[in-house]
Each structure stands twice: as structure tokens, then as C-alpha cells.
Amino acid sequence: MVVIEVCTDEAWSPSVVGVYPFGRPAVRRAPRLPETDRADAFLLGLYPGALRVRWHRPGGGQVAALAVDDEPDTCPTTTDPADRVASWRGSVGWRPDWGTVEVTDPPDAARLVVTEVLDPLGLDHRAVYETHCVPTYFVKSGDRQANAIAEYDRFATAAGLPRSALHRRPDRRELVHRALRHEGHELLRQLKDADAPLVITLGREAADVFAGLAGTDRVPFRLTGSYGTPHHVPLGARELRWIPLIHPATRRGVGWRNTHARWALEHSK
């Protein structure tokens, strides 16, 4: 059996940790608290996503999905994507010589969490405590988003705009250890404050972080009938029910997407 050791140093970081294309700050994200007296579930993702827009550059050319701001604090099912983009345009003082922007093709990752995780479990998003292992946005090196941001930076240099300054995503092992080492105390505090009977983790790394926090064995992820099986985990004086899932927006392959779709369909019956 493999148990992950957690080292829970006090979490600390400046509130502003980077700059998005067109100038909005990237900040440490606070958890999204439930609107009910008590949380029905504690939802743990790896790190927060970003508001993305389709950017048509001046003179032609298109960037299909450019990260331009932290995800809104409101639940994605309660806000219109076009309104979110319009609000962002106002916040950066959008100018016609920067081209045009519009909403990216739905659905976005945050909406998929509601429709393909919370809804199948019969959970109201208003009763869920949502947080992340590492509360800041990362850009994966070499993927489409990194290329999109590099394209913005070239434009920014010529247009006199600020270049982006966003942290690159560490590898899987480093992300898990960073979360346990630097965010451990804060995550344990959040688990206590939420006082939820159910923990849902999204992704292998988030599952490993929760295993480290609880001092329990890692859960293997397999394309088998065991996917999404609940585990009973003691944490302090409580026993929690833990459901480890992939993130429904994962691009890891059709096999995982199909496995999660079957799980969601079975629980929606």
C-alpha cells in the first residue's frame, strides 16, 4: 500500500500572482462557499481555470480560446457567458484597434462540472463547497493555450500592451507536492469548515492530494467498472465518503471521456 505523506506548512502567497493578456491580474482564488447552512459536498479540483475568449486580431487571424481573466466567482449556470465577456471588455477598456472578442464555444469546463458531476449525484451547486489544490491558474507548456498566449505577447509588443505573466504548470508530481507542502494547512481548514459528508475530487492529481491530506492510500484510476466507486475515509473524528473522478473536461482520451459518461449516465437514472 502506498500512502502519501503530507507536509502542511502554512499557505502564503501574494494575492496577485500574474498578469493575463490585456492586463487583468491573476490572483489566488478563494473557495466558492455554499449558499446553504451546511455543505452537502466538498468539491476539490486541481487549480482554477480562466475566462477564455475567441480573439479576432486586427487585420485577420483568429485565436480560438485565449485565457484573459480568472474564472468569475459566480456559478457558471447563473451567468450568461456573453455577459461575462462584456464585463471583462469593460474592465480592460477594450479598444477597436485590438480587434474583436466573443464568447468561446460552449460548454466550458465549469459548466461541465455542474452538468456531468453535480447533477448526476443529485447535488445542488448552491450546497457545494468548491475549492482547488493550488488556488492559482497555470498554463500548460506547449499546449494550445501556451501558443495562444505567445501569439498575444507578439501582438502586445507591437501594440504597446502589457505582456502576459502567467505561471507555467509544473509536472504532475510537483503539483501534488506543492499542494501538500504549501496549501496543506489551508485545505485541511477548508475541509473542517465545510463539514461536508462527501468529498469529490476531480482528476488524478486532486485525488492524490486528498489522499495525502487524509493519510490514506492513493486510488488507482482504471478504465474499469471500479471508476467512481465511493471510498470511506476517516479524517479526524469524522468518516467521509470520497468519490474520485476525472475532470469531465479532460482531453486525456476518448476512453476516459466515455468511462465518465457511463458513470454519469448510471447515476442520472
Per-residue pLDDT of the chain (269 residues; tens, 9 = 90+): 334 444 444 443 448 899 999 999 999 999 999 999 999 999 999 999 999 999 999 987 899 999 999 987 766 555 688 888 999 999 999 999 999 999 887 667 888 899 999 999 999 999 999 999 999 999 987 788 999 999 999 999 999 999 999 999 999 999 999 999 999 999 999 999 999 999 999 999 999 999 999 999 999 888 877 899 999 999 988 999 999 999 988 766 788 888 999 999 998 86
Beta-strand relationship, 198-202 and 238-245: parallel
**What's residue 107's pLDDT?**
60
Q: Burial level of 7, CB count in 10 A (0-12/13-18/19+)?
A: exposed
Q: How confident is the model at residue 2, as a pLDDT?
A: 39
Predicted pLDDT of residue 7: 43
Inter-residue contact 99 to 11 (CB < 8 Å): no
Domains and CATH numbers, the chain: 16-268 (3.40.470)
pLDDT at residue 106, as a whole number? 60
